[in-house]
């Protein structure tokens, strides 16, 4: 039987009929947000003619529990499309309920032929009106849903964004760094499924960090946790740092190790 890993690394085989209709980003409230101008692009065109993506430079690495989930048996849920009217714009929200509260781990926007990949890949969407407005909308979505992990798919291109904000308020700042990946539906080294998995896994790690108790490790207690990834912030000698001064690291489904 196929595993979760098998399905995540399987490229989509869905038949696509592109009408070339373009969905515009015209939400009035989006004008209240700064456009994204501090893009950190992690996708690139490789010598093999495919688009590659560097996830590890911006997302947390894999832990042992990731390996366990990848090895789980799984059946494909892909079905033939039904004949029905499909909305031109659909919000997708992925959340986890803990106690009586629900936390959003990722949010997505569905458009049609709107994303101009070249502008995003160049790290500058301010000169393209439609992309500038889209960036305002996606920042607004991140704020409204309190989710720094956001994606947009327009039928041709999957755009992944991560607002690298230490606090929710930092997402609103014009200069907030935003990690960015662009993966085409065709000619991408990584599958769109795997890319979405990495985005949601990052949101899940953020959720775990939010739920973590302030436990002392090596005589130190985290001062805070970074909003965008849940990593503890250690404060020693007046300096904040992500790595524990004693070299302690976290492990899931394993023992705590000291480097």
Dig out the tokens for 64 from the structure.
């042992």
What does DSSP assign to residue 188? Answer: B
Tell me: pLDDT of 86 over 50: no
Do residues 173 and 164 lie in contact, with contact meaning Cβ atoms separated by under 8 Å?
no
What is the model's pLDDT at position 78?
62
**Beta-ladder partners of 153:** 110, 158
Do residues 148 and 227 lie in contact, with contact meaning Cβ atoms separated by under 8 Å?
yes
Which residue, among 214, 211, 105, 242, has the nearest Cα to 162 in the 3D structure? 105
Cβ-based neighbour number of residue 129 at 10 Å: 10
Tell me: pLDDT of 84 over 70: no
What is the model's pLDDT at position 118?
94
Which residue, among 36, 26, 69, has the nearest Cα to 173 in the 3D structure? 36
In a domain, 62, yes or no: yes
Which whole number is the average pLDDT over 202-221?
81
Domain count, the chain: 1
Q: Long-range contacts for 87-90 (Cβ within 8 Å, ≥24 apart)?
A: 88/21, 88/23, 88/112, 89/23
In a domain, 19, yes or no: no
In a domain, 118, yes or no: yes
124 compared with 65, residue with greater pLDDT = 124
Which whole number is the average pLDDT over 59-71?
78
Residue range 118-177, pLDDT digits in tens? 999 999 999 998 999 999 999 999 999 999 999 999 989 999 999 999 999 999 999 999
In a domain, 224, yes or no: no
75 compared with 145, residue with greater pLDDT = 145
What is the model's pLDDT at position 141?
93
Which whole number is the average pLDDT over 35-60?
92
Which whole number is the average pLDDT over 37-64?
90
**Rounded distance between C-alpha atoms, residue 129 and residue 66, angstroms:** 40
Do residues 43 and 181 lie in contact, with contact meaning Cβ atoms separated by under 8 Å?
yes
Which whole number is the average pLDDT over 95-99?
85
**Beta-ladder partners of 42:** none
In a domain, 251, yes or no: no
21 compared with 124, residue with greater pLDDT = 124
In a domain, 259, yes or no: no
Domain that holds residue 98: 25-76+84-210
In a domain, 29, yes or no: yes
Which whole number is the average pLDDT over 168-192?
94
In a domain, 240, yes or no: no
Which residue, among 237, 185, 230, 226, has the nearest Cα to 211 in the 3D structure? 230
Tell me: pLDDT of 225 over 90: no
């Amino acid at each position: 039987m196929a595993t979760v890993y098998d399905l995540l690394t399987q490229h989509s085989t869905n038949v696509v009929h592109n009408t070339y209709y373009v969905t515009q980003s015209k939400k009035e409230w989006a004008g209240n947000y700064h456009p994204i101008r501090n893009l950190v692009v992690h996708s690139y065109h490789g010598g093999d003619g495919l688009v590659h993506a560097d996830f590890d430079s911006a997302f947390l690495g894999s832990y042992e529990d990731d390996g366990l989930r990848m090895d789980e048996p799984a059946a494909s849920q892909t079905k033939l499309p039904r004949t029905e009217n499909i909305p031109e714009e659909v919000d997708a929200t992925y959340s986890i309920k803990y106690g009586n509260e629900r936390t959003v781990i990722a949010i997505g926007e569905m458009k049609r032929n709107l994303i101009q990949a070249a502008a995003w890949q160049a790290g500058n969407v301010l000169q393209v009106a439609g992309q500038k407005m889209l960036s305002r909308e996606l920042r607004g979505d991140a704020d409204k849903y309190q989710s720094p992990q956001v994606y947009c798919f327009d039928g041709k291109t999957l755009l992944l964004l991560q607002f690298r904000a230490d606090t929710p308020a930092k997402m609103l700042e014009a200069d907030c760094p935003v990690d960015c990946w662009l993966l085409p539906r065709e000619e991408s080294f990584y599958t769109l499924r795997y890319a979405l998995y990495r985005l949601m896994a990052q949101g899940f790690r953020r959720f775990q960090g939010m739920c973590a108790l302030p436990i002392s490790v090596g005589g130190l207690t985290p001062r805070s946790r970074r909003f965008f990834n849940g990593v503890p912030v250690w404060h020693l000698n007046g300096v904040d740092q992500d790595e524990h001064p004693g070299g302690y690291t976290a492990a899931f489904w394993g023992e705590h190790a000291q480097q």
